[in-house]
Amino acid sequence: MRLTLRRLREKKGWTLDTASKIFGISKSKLKNYEEYKDVPTYKELETILKITGFYFDEIGFIILRDIESHYKGNK
């Protein structure tokens, strides 16, 4: 199973509201990231990585692969 931003949040047991507060971004922004309507800024991604303990290359690759998959219709 791939670990998307949403799956990462759910695995931690966080609601969208809780995760947005933990990450310091708005709930609507986080929802847009999870729904592939937008991508996090470098600073936001850096914050998410520090909090979750992932490395940039792991999550960066996951985000790019998932966005590509989403737009090709392979959700």
Q: What residues have CB less than 8 Å from 73, skipping those under 6 apart? A: none
pLDDT at residue 1, as a whole number: 41
- CATH number assigned to the domain comprising residue 52: 1.10.260
Name the DSSP class of 11: H
Number of domains, the chain: 1
The pLDDT averaged over each successive group of 10 residues in the chain (75 residues) is 73 93 95 87 84 71 63 60
pLDDT at 20: 95
Q: Which long-range contacts (CB under 8 A, 24 or more apart) does 58-62 make?
A: 59/5, 62/2, 62/3, 62/4, 62/5
- pTM, full prediction: 0.72
- pLDDT value at residue 27: 97
Range of 53's domain? 5-71
